[in-house]
Structure 1
Amino acid sequence: MHHRCRLSAAFAVAAICLAPSAFAQQEDRSSLTIGVGVAAAPSYEGSDDYRVLPIPQLRGKVKDFAFWTRGPGLYVDAIPNSDPDGVDFELGPVVNVRFDRSSRRNIKDDAVRLLGKRDIAVEVGGFVGIGKTGVITSAYDNLSARVAVTRDVAGAHGSYVITPAVEYMTPLSQTAFVGLGVSADYVGRKYGRYYYDVDPAGAAASGLPAYGGAGDGSGFKKVNFSLAGGKSLSGDLRHGWAIFAAASYSRILGDYAASPIVSVAGSRNQWIGAIGVGYTF
């Protein structure tokens, strides 16, 4: 299984696109996996209300150059994965679209809905990382670490997001795999101000207390732990149909957890669960 899937909180949903098979790393070929599923996720980041949403996903490999979607984000690895010793250096662009609180009808909490919707953010940047295949359990398991850095260019939060992540994947057989991941989000001052602060006008409209602590500086917003697995329906994860499931737990941290949209109207504990089906060509 190609290891470049992202197993983090938005990102348990990407498990439906976890790649064809670890054995595919030994082949010089192109592939395409298309997935679709459903996820139960918080109605906004920090919410304790949940909603069900569809999750289309896509990943592929062309001449050892990989691309994949991660929720509403697109990643392209510009360095080919062709090292015979299983070492993979990663470097490439990232484009992510953030829809958090961009639609009032998707916010279930009445007070947070009265704070008003947020503009859609378009976050553009890049990532760098390194992975190694054949580490612990077999010649096909993979351990990788990477950092993605993006900045909003659409004038929404107007800040940056830095996401370090460490992931481990191992095939259980030619028909099944499991993966684990841990990641964190470090955000800029404007991000905290835009999504977590409550100004006096917002406090008057919503009944929530005014709060300005999240916009005082940059910091780690949350840490995430995730688990994913998949099972082939055709006898080989490299080809045909497969089913996937994933779950993640995120903990909102520090001044962001102290925001009234979390501490009063929501919860610092965030869960995501997803199931889906994918087809590999």
Structure 2
Amino acid sequence: MSLGLAAPCLAQETAPAPVDTPPTSDPRADFAIVGIGVGVLPDYEGSGDYSVSPVPAAIGQLSGYRFVLAGNRISVDLIKDGYGPTWDIQAGPIGVVNFNRSSRGSIDNPQVALLDERGTAIELGGYVGIGKTGVITSDYDRLSATISYRYDVAGVHESGILTPTITYTTPLSTKALVGLFASAEFVERGYGRTYFSVTPAESARSGLPIYTAGGGFKNWALGAVATRSLTGDLTGGLQLVGGVVYRRLSGDFADSPVTQVGSPNQWIGAVGLAYSF
């Protein structure tokens, strides 16, 4: 499963700043925020069973270019941000390591564990977007919309994933920040065939009915995140970060036998510590 909407990185998407006073550091300067957390996520996409996993995270800016690492996902914004309340054009590469059903040992459901293992997919692509700083609450809140496309280059599902996302973040004070986001995923046929279909041989082993999944609209998701400084403020020091994401599978993906023995309702939660400098 992907922690693509991982809480630690969403919380740091905007330059840390209080609601009604100027930032305490130059948002154009280089910075880095690194963290580690504990995530609770489904055993596989469509599972009703959950497991605990470590979640690394980092965000930074070098010479005006921002990068984000969120669990198994990394992206880089190759267009420099402006200063103060402004519009921001975003574009750059994105990469995801997809571990979905790559290990039977991590799947509790006995029927799904009898299906063929999938390899580890390497999904590479890019994204574009637009953001606006200074929208509702202050000069430092941020609303952004992005769309990304990535394709599996490892030969596992050999298909693409299109993901539109809307994100809003706002600082509440010099020590607290919250964010909300919504996204959806559209996948090509190879993705559905790899992760949601059941072949005759797999059906004979597992007892699940034969099923052929197609492509299209796979899921929508809503999430929230919050961060609170434990030392210093949001521009530097130790921070406590937590977030939750709800995803709802749809269409062929909700109707698949691997989901029917699990659940189309997918929850992802994470809590951790981050240090900014």
TM bracket, shorter-chain basis: over 0.9
Question: Is 1:46 aligned to residue 46 of structure 2?
Answer: yes
Aligned to 1:21: 16
Aligned to 1:223: 220
- Contact map agreement 1:16 1:35 (CA 8 A) in 2: no
SS of residue in 2 equivalent to 1:261: helix
The 1-side partners of 2:198 and 2:181 are apart by: 32
* 1:42-121 → structure 2 map (5 Å cutoff): 42-121=42-121
The 1-side partners of 2:82 and 2:187 are apart by: 34
- Contact map agreement 1:16 1:37 (CA 8 A) in 2: no
Once superposed, what is the RMSD of the aligned Cα atoms?
Answer: 1.5
Aligned to 1:132: 132
Which digits, 9 at most, give the CA deviation of each residue in 1:127-182, with x for residues without a partner? 00000000011111100000010000000000000000001001100100110000
* Partner residue of 2:246 out of 249, 265, 269: 249
Q: Report deviation, 1:85.
A: 4.0
User: Are residues 123 and 41 of structure 1, via their aligned partners in 2, closer, same or farther at CA, if it must alter by over 3 Å?
Assistant: same
Aligned to 1:268: 264
The 2-side partners of 1:94 and 1:12 are apart by: 13
SS of residue in 2 equivalent to 1:105: helix
Sequence identity, in percent? 44
The 1-side partners of 2:216 and 2:238 are apart by: 42
- Contact map agreement 1:12 1:273 (CA 8 A) in 2: no
Higher helix proportion: 1
Which digits, 9 at most, give the CA deviation of each residue in 1:234-273, with x for residues without a partner? 131110100001001000001110000001x110000111
Which digits, 9 at most, give the CA deviation of each residue in 1:178-210, with x for residues without a partner? 100000010000100000000111100111111
The 2-side partners of 1:56 and 1:187 are apart by: 26
- Contact map agreement 1:17 1:57 (CA 8 A) in 2: no
Q: How many residues align?
A: 269
* 1:154-193 → structure 2 map (5 Å cutoff): 154-193=154-193
Unmatched 5+ residue regions in structure 2? 18-22
What residue identity is the alignment partner of 2:50? Answer: Y
Aligned to 1:6: none
The 2-side partners of 1:274 and 1:24 are apart by: 28
Which digits, 9 at most, give the CA deviation of each residue in 1:39-83, with x for residues without a partner? 111000100000000001111101221001122111010000025
The 2-side partners of 1:137 and 1:85 are apart by: 12
- Contact map agreement 2:162 2:186 (CA 8 A) in 1: yes
Unmatched 5+ residue regions in structure 1? 1-8
The 1-side partners of 2:33 and 2:210 are apart by: 46
Report the TM-score, using the length of structure 2 for normalisation. 0.93
What residue identity is the alignment partner of 1:231? Answer: R
What residue identity is the alignment partner of 2:194? Answer: Y
Q: Report deviation, 1:13.
A: 2.7
- Contact map agreement 2:114 2:205 (CA 8 A) in 1: yes
The 2-side partners of 1:116 and 1:24 are apart by: 54
SS of residue in 2 equivalent to 1:201: helix
* 1:200-219 → structure 2 map (5 Å cutoff): 200-212=200-212, 214-215=213-214, 218-219=215-216
Aligned to 1:123: 123
The 1-side partners of 2:28 and 2:119 are apart by: 43
Q: After TM superposition, where is structure 1 displaced by more than 6 Å over at least 4 residues in a row? A: none
Q: Report deviation, 1:12.
A: 4.3
- Contact map agreement 2:9 2:58 (CA 8 A) in 1: no
The 1-side partners of 2:5 and 2:149 are apart by: 20
